[in-house]
Every structure is written in structure tokens, then in C-alpha cells.
Amino acid sequence: MFDNIRHDISVVLERDPAAKSKFDALISYPGVHALIYYRIANWAWENGFHTVGRFISHIGRFLSGIEIHPGAKIGKGVFFDHGMGIVIGETAEVGDNVTLYQGVTLGGTSLEGGKRHPTLEEGVIVGAGAKIIGPILVGKNARVGSNAVVVKPVMENVTVIGIPAKAIQPPKDKSQKDFCAYGMATDELPDPIARSLEGMFDMVCGLKSRVEELEQELAEREAQDIVKAHKAKKPSPKAVKPETAP
């Protein structure tokens, strides 16, 4: 437990340039405080002291603004950036080196026992306000964009955004493990909705140009038909009879 706590503190220095020292991370980062309370509460829960674990978890929630059920499973190197409003349910599993931003919910949808909450594998990044609901799996190094609502499994190395969350094509180079703050899409991973709207906009512009061309052609044909009709109705000049000499 204490090894995990020390590792949780060192992770802050790796992922937040605002952190100045381990002491700074220990006394001023609510994510670290929440994990410390969780480690103690989880130890009590695993050893059968359920009420004690819940009470310690409640104290941690009151002091840090982060609610973690003592029955949840959280790995090493987990980082809660800002952290306020994070909720992690009883059967949730959070793998090593996962990053969660403020307002994230790992919630359940069933009132039955058993697995009810999501599982996040190693290296997952979940943006601010995202909701991951149900006993679904979010694969290794996946990214969940801010305010996304995820209700279906997410494959490895995939970014999902939107409500409900939709997958974006993964990076071509899967070996690249660059950090993606808030799980937001980059230029290489555009928003699929925005991409669809751009395609529709291009199609509408093309159709508009074609309609204008057809209207011009139609106007020219109507003008030609009017000219032809006018010529057809115009009387031909009468032949002038020559005057006879008296």
C-alpha cells in the first residue's frame, strides 16, 4: 500500500508540469489525497471491515471531492488531474498509468450484484466530464474525449468522442504513446461528426453550383424559344406592285 502511495506521488511530477516537488504533490493535490484514503479504505474493505472502509472513503470524498468506492480496484500510477467530481463505483477496475480528469464517472446501470462498472486498461486517458457506464471494457491506451458518454466497449489505441461516444480511426503508428490531454482529438484524429459535416457542406456547395449552371442553361433555352416564337409569328412583308404608266 505504501509503495503504491509513493508511486502515486511520483506520477504527479511526471504528468503535471505545475507540480514542483513530491512534497508539493503530497500536500496540495486532491488526487493524491483521494488515492491515499482509497488505499487505506481498500485495505479495510479487503480484510472484511466494510463499514470502516466505507467511512474512510466518505472522509476522503469530503476532503478531496473525489468519490472512490473502497471495493474498486485501482492500479499503480493512476493520476487524477484536478479531480473534483470524479466518481468510481464498487466494481470498477482502473489499470496502471490511467489518467482521469475532473468530473469523470465510472458508473453502473444494473441493480443486480456482480460486475456493474467499467474496466479501464493500462494507459487510458479519460477527459473532463466523460461518463463511462456499465460493465464495459476500455482497451489499453484508449482515449475518451471530454464530455463523451461511453456505453459500448472501446478497442485499444482508439479515441472516442461524442454522445453517444463514437470511435475515431486510431493513429497509424500505434507504437507512438504521446500523451493526449483531456483525451481530445488532434489534427491527425479529427472529429468524425465534424468530418461528416464538412463532407455534407462540400456536397451542398457542389449541388448549388450545378443548380446555378442548370438554371442558366434553362434561361438561355427559354430566351432562344421566345426569339424563335417571335420570328414565327411575325408577318412576312407584302410584295409591292409596280405602278403602271398612265
Query: pLDDT tens-digit profile of 49-64?
Result: 999 999 999 999 999 8
240, part of any domain:
no
**pLDDT for residue 114:** 83
Three-class SS state of 174: coil
- Could you list the residue range(s) of the whole structural domain that residue 175 is in? 2-190
How much is the pLDDT for 18? Answer: 80
**Predicted local distance difference test score (pLDDT) of residue 88:** 93
| 106/223 same-domain check | no
Q: Exposed, middle or buried, 54 (CB in 10 Å: 0-12/13-18/19+)?
A: middle
| 72: in domain | yes
pLDDT value, residue 2: 74
Does residue 246 fall inside a structural domain?
A: no
Do residues 84 and 78 lie in contact, with contact meaning Cβ atoms separated by under 8 Å? no
Which parts of the chain register pLDDT below 50? 175-176
Query: What is the per-residue pLDDT for 234?
Result: 63
User: How high is the pLDDT of residue 112?
Assistant: 77
- Are 47 and 138 members of one domain? yes
In a domain, 32, yes or no: yes
Instruction: Provide CB contacts within 8 A for 155, sequence distance 6+.
Output: 139, 142, 167, 170
Do 180 and 103 fall within a single domain? yes
Does residue 242 form part of some domain?
no
- Say what the pLDDT of residue 182 is: 55
What total of structural domains would you count in the chain? Answer: 2
pTM for this model (two decimals):
0.67
